A and B are shown apart, each in its own frame.
Chain A
Amino acid sequence: EAGVTQFPSHSVIEKGQTVTLRCDPISGHDNLYWYRRVMGKEIKFLLHFVKESKQDESGMPNNRFLAERTGGTYSTLKVQPAELEDSGVYFCASSRLGGLLGTDTQYFGPGTRLTVL
């Protein structure tokens, strides 16, 4: 079974540009999560999809970030326009639906390292 994949693995852009990150979850996983780790800090939750619907996007920093999950399969996270503070590692994770008290195992992708100059 293929794991969670993310593309690209690295992205270097200039302030003001647009970047789109992609995540392909494990096949059959309805839950998809985006997280971000800014250098020197802990990983933080950004948002949660259940199939194609946004279950919770309370962690999204501002309206420069737009996440979509077309058809409930892969997801994209667009940052437009990018700012210096957006630099960090963006992780995607997926899990099957269900799990008592939110205990479904989340499988993480390797992350996309974004650098904004």
Chain B
Amino acid sequence: KNQVEQSPQSLIILEGKNCTLQCNYTVSPFSNLRWYKQDTGRGPVSLTIMTFSENTKSNGRYTATLDADTKQSSLHITASQLSDSASYICVVSFPGGSYIPTFGRGTSLIVHP
């Protein structure tokens, strides 16, 4: 079982609507949690980075939250656009020299006009 589980696996929404993606992790302790956006055929692009002591971080229409007690994170997308169609990946890193990351499998988001 993966230590980083994301839900839903896929999601379809209409343009302009909001949505929330979930990430549950069992990695403990951890040093930071990241959300990435990955377009088809491209590498992941960093959206937000939170340390274990932070509970929210925003980047434009993207807002990530973190509850270290329940080991849950959410990525909220506001007023979705067609360009938001992509895979969203949650990554949790262990403390240590390389902060080795553990990736979730991602949520595939499709935004329809």
Selected interface stretch from A12-20, A40-48, A67-75, A77-85:
A40-48
In the assembled complex, the Cα of A99 lies from the Cα of B37 at a distance in Å of: 21
CB atoms of B45 and A108 under 8 A apart: yes
In this complex, the interface size class of chain A, counting residues with CB under 8 Å from chain B, is: 20 to 34
Task: Please tell me if the beta carbons of B43 and A58 are within 8 angstroms of each other in the complex.
Answer: no
CA distance A101 to B49 in the complex (A): 10
Majority DSSP secondary structure for residues of B touching A: loop
Question: In the bound complex, do residue A105 and residue B46 qualify as a contact, i.e. CB atoms below 8 Å apart?
Answer: yes
Within 8 A of B (CB), among A99-117: 100-103, 105-111
B87-103 interface (Cβ within 8 A of A)? 89, 93, 95, 97-103
- The answer to whether the Cβ of B41 comes within 8 Å of any Cβ in the partner chain is yes
Residues of A within 8 A of B (CB): 4, 41-45, 48, 55-56, 58-59, 91, 93, 100-103, 105-111
B interface residues (Cβ-Cβ under 8 A, vs A): 2, 4, 31-32, 41-46, 49, 51-52, 89, 93, 95, 97-106
Q: Can you give 6 A-B contacts (C-beta < 8 A)?
A: A43-B44, A43-B103, A48-B100, A91-B43, A101-B31, A102-B93
